[in-house]
Amino acid sequence: MFPPSSSVCPLTKLLSIEALTFRFWGQGVVPGIELRTYACWGQLPPLPWASPAQSRPVGVLLWWEPFGGRGPASRPTPDCRLRFNISGCRLLTDRSTYGEAHAVLFHHRDLVRTAEELELPRPPGQRWVWMNFESPSHSPGLRSLESNLFNWTLSYRADSDIFVPYGYLYPRSHPRDQPIGQVPPLAQKRGLVAWVVSNWDERQARVRYYHQLSQHVRVDVFGQGGPGRPVPDSGLLHTVARYKFYLAFENSQHLDYITEKLWRNALLAGAVPVVLGPDRANYERFVPRGAFIHVDDFPSASSLATYLLFLDRNLAVYRRYFHWRRRYAVHITSFWDEPWCRACQAVQTAGDQPKSIRNLASWFEQ
């Protein structure tokens, strides 16, 4: 429905920055490794929403505050018009307004946690929306959901009915758009590689890769798990900004599962992301090819370490990883206000064609 498959940046359309070729002959590196850095300006998928000319009034009921967060003392519901320029939204939390809602959002983790039976009479035209921002590996109970229970999906998956990524790039229009400046201040970068991780699990691919990489280059780990030390009081973004590279390693590898680890922790903070998640082609649907380093580009962690050390010594080449900042800024999705408002917008722009999700698990787990 949103970014089409044609938005994938094909190799034949890549615009070479300079077709830089690096050959490493160091110890433990396969001779003759070729690494090319490209830009892919103009090939990014369009923003996944457009406001209708006239916004009709729509009520969207949030059945649970995600992760049990909304109680009697919770903050007020967001103003979609002020926050996201979406007019006509009536955001509801009182279940007594169920019959008035055009759509109802059900957060997957809370649906499974509460084991609540959703045996409710559904008003004509009301959409039930399954909302989830966890990967399939961390979404228990998918196969226990009834067939045709939900009408729409809302997730980070680009093929969701309502696509809300963790972040995205948009055309830069003002000097104050974030991150500020074409290149981050390199003088403040005193460290080489940083990683912030809160859930340490030795079985995860990201932890295994860290162990291999850290044998060849120093990686400063922050967070509550493993060898991590507390994030300094200055905050995560300020801390990461002092490093040249950030390990944007996802906790599991699935289609389109690209989280704030890339958008906020790396791109917004001003560090070059080293990514471990879906394959490179998947990342290139959303980020220019020359804006990140993928672990799959290298035959081993030691060769990746060699390349990072090469960039550390060659700042002119390192700066090329920030060329995207000349044209693009970073948007970080606001949870859970933004998905709520985007659901309202989706109802406003949708037709009356009925739909139901026959087998949600088979779709999401692919």
Task: Tell which residue, 166, 165, 67, has the closest CA to residue 112.
Answer: 67
Task: Tell which residue, 281, 315, 320, has the closest CA to residue 297.
Answer: 281
Q: Is 365 a catalytic residue?
A: no
- Specify the amino acid at residue 26: G
- What residues have CB less than 8 Å from 155, skipping those under 6 apart? 131, 132, 133, 162, 163, 164, 364
Q: How far is the C-alpha of 192 from the C-alpha of 219, rounded, in Å? A: 7
Instruction: Give residue for tokens 């550390």.
Output: 312
Q: How far is the C-alpha of 301 from the C-alpha of 249, rounded, in Å? A: 14
- What residues have CB less than 8 Å from 69, skipping those under 6 apart? 336
Among 134, 250, 284, 338, the active-site one is 134
CA distances from 169 to 15, 38, 172, 195, 287 (A): 19, 17, 9, 22, 7
Asked if 93 and 73 touch (Cβ cutoff 8 Å), the reply is no
Q: How far is the C-alpha of 323 from the C-alpha of 69, rounded, in Å? A: 39
CA distances from 237 to 27, 234, 241, 266 (A): 34, 8, 6, 8
Active site residues: 134
